[in-house]
Structure 1
Amino acid sequence: MAGMEQYPVLRAKNLGIQFGGLKAVDNFNLEIGESELVGLIGPNGAGKTTVFNLLTGVYKPTEGSFYLNGQRMNGRRTHQIVEAGIARTFQNIRLFKKMTVIDNVKAAMNRELMYQLPQAILRTPSYWREEARITERARELLRIVHLEGKEEYEADNLPYGEQRRLEIARALATDMKLLLLDEPAAGMNPTETEELLDIIHFIRNRFKISVLLIEHDMSLVMRICGRIQVLDFGTTIASGTPEEIANHPKVIEAYLGRDEDDGGEGQEHGRDGNQEYREVGKDA
């Protein structure tokens, strides 16, 4: 409608949190538009997962605010933020491991069920119609992440890479507007990583969702993200295209460290091994 203000899907404004005397995240600002895929990177301990915890209500910000499509999210509980449209995956997979694959996906659809408890107890026709509807939708999501045919497996029996994809299907089942992916390629082999990359592209384009990605596989980040923001010790040190980030001196210093006797050239004195950063320039 003409004249209506257009909001970014996510807007974080001066967002921060302090634990005692330590500022884990300070003055974090980020805007993500519709269908945009943004990477959030930085050395270990930079504050990336803390940002995700702020955006999902696990932590309450001690300063600043964040908005989803113009609606302020501060103070909302995690389930309320999920209902508003923010979903996430985790570094450590968190599935209902003894439930079936399809039931893991259906569990994320509880809030949209169209029947009441008495109908479920009595197994009325409306109950069965609704069960059929959500079962078919769950099957469709499992097809999208290439898990068709495994609907009745226990989640715990899936290979690691397939468990990662099941987490994504479960997140999709919440009808989110913003998907936060926390190291989705961790532990995957190159073939699984390529398949994951294709799935992320597909769901972004099909569902018009926005994605904020934390990932240590820099070749994946550089290939999939249109824009990258870099954290170090809880503060943003750079933001730009993959090419700009790959050659940014502050980013190189954050990952590779600085030798005070060499005039500031990057050396291998970073905090976390730095092999991941050597991958940055390969595809940039």
Structure 2
Amino acid sequence: MSKEIKEVPVLRVQNLGITFGGLKAVDSFSIDIGKSEFVGLIGPNGAGKTTVFNLLTGVYMPTEGSFYLEGQKMNGKKTHQVVAAGISRTFQNIRLFKKMTVIENVMVTMNMHMSYSLVSSIFRLPKYWKQEEEARKKALELLDIVNLKDKADITAENLPYGQQRRLEIARALGTGMKLLLLDEPAAGMNPTETSELLDIINVIRTKFNISILLIEHDMSLVMKVCERIQVIDYGVTIASGTPEEIANNPKVIEAYLGKDEEEGVALC
């Protein structure tokens, strides 16, 4: 009888943790994310969510545990190596090249895939122009997905806040990642902007067939897009399951709202 062969997860995290000055910010964090899976990572403020992202992108080096991208161990790799391997992210606080144009912000993420030489770049040889044109075309396609194609030549700092958020997503997509980490993409957005973001996320899921790990405080957004949700509090996982299971989990409700079992408070 043949054994069932399980697909290697895009991301496998095993007992990942980090300690700052004797304080465990993240403790024994584990998660598997399969191909094209959309997973939410939620928890109260200060729970350690962004710290997890910083561990997965080489900003911090874990003091315990390990993590793998399609079976490749990523511990100890620097941020640019992590991005080259296939993990990209957005940030809680917008980080754009604000003096560059919208399209330049996206094209700069494609530099790692350029193969023309320094000589070709200096003397503007045919190989340089060909690859730059290909990058520009791809950048415009990504900007179209996030509804910013008509803003391509505007300086990034002149975009409204919500559009800057969407530009960050386009820039992350430009790296050609396998796993996209979205850190509170709806933060500061009004309901109309959040609704547009939801549409964009759904297009990204369909078009790119990538895995996504989302941190978000807007529970209505989380419940609509995530197939599975993991909850951490004080750096420790307290629950994992479907959106419905999480919304009615007493431990999760207590972590967010305080213990009130009689009222049966749910998150959605």
Letter of the 1:38 counterpart = V
How far off its partner does 1:279 sit? 7.5
Alignment partner of 1:53: what SS?
Answer: helix
Q: Could you list the runs of 4 or more consecutive aligned residues of structure 1 that deviate by over 3 angstroms after TM superposition?
A: 264-267
Of all paired residues, the percent bearing the same amino acid is 70
Alignment partner of 2:140: what SS?
Answer: helix
* Contact 2:43/2:49 (<8 A) preserved: yes
How far off its partner does 1:169 sit? 0.5
In structure 1, the partner of 2:161 is 160
Letter of the 1:27 counterpart = S
Q: Does 1:77 align with 2:78?
A: yes
Alignment partner of 1:46: what SS?
Answer: coil
* Contact 2:109/2:174 (<8 A) preserved: yes
Q: Does 1:13 align with 2:14?
A: yes
More displaced, 191-200 or 97-106?
A: 191-200
In structure 1, the partner of 2:220 is 219
Letter of the 1:69 counterpart = E
Find the aligned partners of 1:130 and 1:26 in 2 and give their Cα distance.
44
State the Cα RMSD in Å. 1.7
1:1-284, aligned counterparts within 5 Å? 6-258=7-259, 265=261, 280-281=267-268
Find the aligned partners of 1:279 and 1:182 in 2 and give their Cα distance.
23
Alignment partner of 2:149: what SS?
Answer: coil
Deviations 1:19-48 (A, max 9, x none): 121110001010000111000000011000
Return closer, same or farther for 1:174/1:266 CA change in 2, 3 Å cut-off: farther
Alignment partner of 1:213: what SS?
Answer: strand
How far off its partner does 1:6 sit? 2.5
Find the aligned partners of 2:240 and 2:14 in 1 and give their Cα distance.
15
How far off its partner does 1:257 sit? 1.9
Alignment partner of 1:76: what SS?
Answer: coil
Q: Which runs of 5+ in 2 are unaligned?
A: none
In structure 2, the partner of 1:261 is none
Find the aligned partners of 2:46 and 2:65 in 1 and give their Cα distance.
21
How far off its partner does 1:114 sit? 2.4
* Contact 1:12/1:30 (<8 A) preserved: yes
Return closer, same or farther for 1:62/1:256 CA change in 2, 3 Å cut-off: same
Deviations 1:207-252 (A, max 9, x none): 1110000000001101111100000000000000111001101001
* Contact 2:247/2:266 (<8 A) preserved: no
Find the aligned partners of 2:150 and 2:215 in 1 and give their Cα distance.
30
In structure 2, the partner of 1:272 is none
Find the aligned partners of 2:266 and 2:118 in 1 and give their Cα distance.
53
Find the aligned partners of 2:12 and 2:96 in 1 and give their Cα distance.
29
Alignment partner of 1:139: what SS?
Answer: helix
Return closer, same or farther for 1:232/1:266 CA change in 2, 3 Å cut-off: farther
* Contact 1:218/1:279 (<8 A) preserved: no
How far off its partner does 1:266 sit? 7.5
Find the aligned partners of 1:98 and 1:204 in 2 and give their Cα distance.
30
* Structure 2 length-normalised TM: 0.95
Q: Which runs of 5+ in 1 are unaligned?
A: 259-263, 268-277
Find the aligned partners of 1:51 and 1:234 in 2 and give their Cα distance.
9
Find the aligned partners of 2:241 and 2:114 in 1 and give their Cα distance.
42
Return closer, same or farther for 1:4/1:175 CA change in 2, 3 Å cut-off: farther
Count of aligned residue pairs for this structure pair: 265
Find the aligned partners of 2:261 and 2:34 in 1 and give their Cα distance.
36
Deviations 1:63-119 (A, max 9, x none): 000000010000000000000000000000000000000000010011111211111
